[in-house]
Amino acid sequence: MPDAPRRTTHRTGRNGLLLTLPLLAFILVFFAAPIGAMLWRSVSNPLPAAMLPKTAEALAGWDAQALPGEAAYAAIVEDLKALKREEAAKLGAQLNFDFGGLNSLIRKTAREAAKLAPPYADSLPKLDKQWANQAVWAAIAVGTQSLSAKNYLAAVDLRYGADLSVERVADKDAIYLMLFGRTAWVAALVTVLCLILGYPLAWLLANAGPRTAGLLMILLLLPFWTSLLVRTTAWIALLQSQGVVNDMLVWLGLVDDKNRVQLVYNMTGTLVAMTQVLLPFMVLPLYSVMKTIPPVYLRAASSMGARPFTGFIRVYLPLTMPGVAAGALLVFILAVGYYITPALVGGPSGQLISNLIAYHIQQSLNWGLGAALSAVLLGAVIVLYLVFNRVAGADRLRFG
């Protein structure tokens, strides 16, 4: 019966695959497919190319060293003549993302296109002087490309110039790199705060008696049973100028009633609320590691002459590093993508890149730029994980 073990192994593998098919289908439909659609949306721009086909063809070989020729002017007039009013409005709104003022220019020209006479290189600038602006034509040339990297350039404060070369945006418009930097800084600071607060709590959980440890664990997990929106709103009540914290500071005489501390709608509110929400994600990995460390190790270090602090640094801390690394990775990655908490308690100075992504998706409807910002953030997190895995080793992490 030499084939019997092989058939058994094959049957077991097949049954295991069948059991995991629902999970694989769930991941594909609700995780992989949306990410793929987001990545495609960040580079795809089919609407202008479909509405301005002749213009796209005429500008395909344009070198952008001077204004395009009569063929391009004639092409855009013919394309705009064929558009209905609502189509012109939709096209103008799409192109306006790349160059401010194109919305009104496209709609105005579409209304008057039938009245224009050749040569259009003269009649179009007479209708509106913007048609003599090379930057306008550069924006149309880029906008009519079905696939373009313009959204990724915008996500890192770059753009195509009037000659189609890549250049930095004006300082007053350069906000995305600043927000990416602020997001990374806030995530790192929240991670450090969670580690400072969570390490002693995890040690207490691991070394306390069963009843005390059980009560502390309930208190630690209690926030998970409460809506994140409710917890964040509670921080507004606590931290606002007339809130509980300020009332206590006034009662203790630490601040004057007329000079209450502004603790919400700024970076302070963001840090406090995010640290409280993410603290359990640091404590639980630490607790799972500390619970497995026998107390005899520290007693052995003490018997060999090590002071308590030396024993902690030389013996206990290195043994807890897998939990520290796992907790730091969890907290940092979750903090990078936080949206609700900064939106409610952050104010203008406490907003993160996720809030701007939500703005482009929900309000400005610039889905391409929102998708590009999301892709850049996703790529940064993946790179971070790969670097972390290279340095710390994901196989040595302890998540629980």
State the CATH number of the domain containing residue 325.
1.10.3720.10
Exposure letters 213-224 (e unless 16+ CB within 10 A, then b): beebbeebeebe
Domain that holds residue 50: 46-173
Whether residue 269 is found in the same domain as residue 297: yes
In a domain, 22, yes or no: no
CB-based contact 351:274 (threshold 8 Å): no
Tell me the C-alpha to C-alpha distance, in Å, between residue 394 and each of 278, 334, 397: 21, 17, 5
In a domain, 306, yes or no: yes
The residues of the chain scoring below 70 in pLDDT are: 1-8, 13, 16, 392-400
Whether residue 231 is found in the same domain as residue 378: yes
* pLDDT confidence of residue 239: 87
Bridge partners of 158? 168
Whether residue 214 is found in the same domain as residue 144: no
Whether residue 51 is found in the same domain as residue 184: no
CB-based contact 280:399 (threshold 8 Å): no
Whether residue 150 is found in the same domain as residue 200: no
In a domain, 39, yes or no: no
Q: Report the C-alpha gap between 217 and 214 in whole angstroms.
A: 5
In a domain, 16, yes or no: no
Bridge partners of 160? 166
* pLDDT confidence of residue 13: 67
Whether residue 185 is found in the same domain as residue 327: yes
Tens digit of each residue's pLDDT (9 = 90 or more) over 342-373: 888 887 777 889 989 989 988 888 999 999 99
CB-based contact 326:398 (threshold 8 Å): yes
**If residue 158 lies in a helix (H) or strand (E), which one and from where to where?**
strand 158-160
In a domain, 227, yes or no: yes
Whether residue 182 is found in the same domain as residue 73: no
Whether residue 317 is found in the same domain as residue 355: yes
Nearest residue to 399 via CA among 287, 279, 319 = 287
* pLDDT confidence of residue 123: 93
* pLDDT confidence of residue 127: 93
Q: How many domains is the chain built from?
A: 2
Tell me the one-letter amino acid at 380: A
* Angle at which helices 367-391 and 176-207 cross, to 10°: 50
**If residue 160 lies in a helix (H) or strand (E), which one and from where to where?**
strand 158-160
Whether residue 159 is found in the same domain as residue 284: no
Tell me the one-letter amino acid at 329: L
In a domain, 370, yes or no: yes
Final residue before a domain boundary, out of 118, 143, 173? 173
Whether residue 300 is found in the same domain as residue 168: no
Nearest residue to 220 via CA among 235, 236, 205 = 205
Whether residue 262 is found in the same domain as residue 356: yes
CB-based contact 59:68 (threshold 8 Å): yes
Q: Which two tokens stand for residue 50?
A: 């479909």
Bridge partners of 44? 147
Q: Which two tokens stand for residue 381?
A: 């997190």
Tens digit of each residue's pLDDT (9 = 90 or more) over 2-22: 566 666 677 776 776 777 888
CB-based contact 59:141 (threshold 8 Å): yes
Bridge partners of 163? none
Q: What is the DSSP letter of 240?
A: S
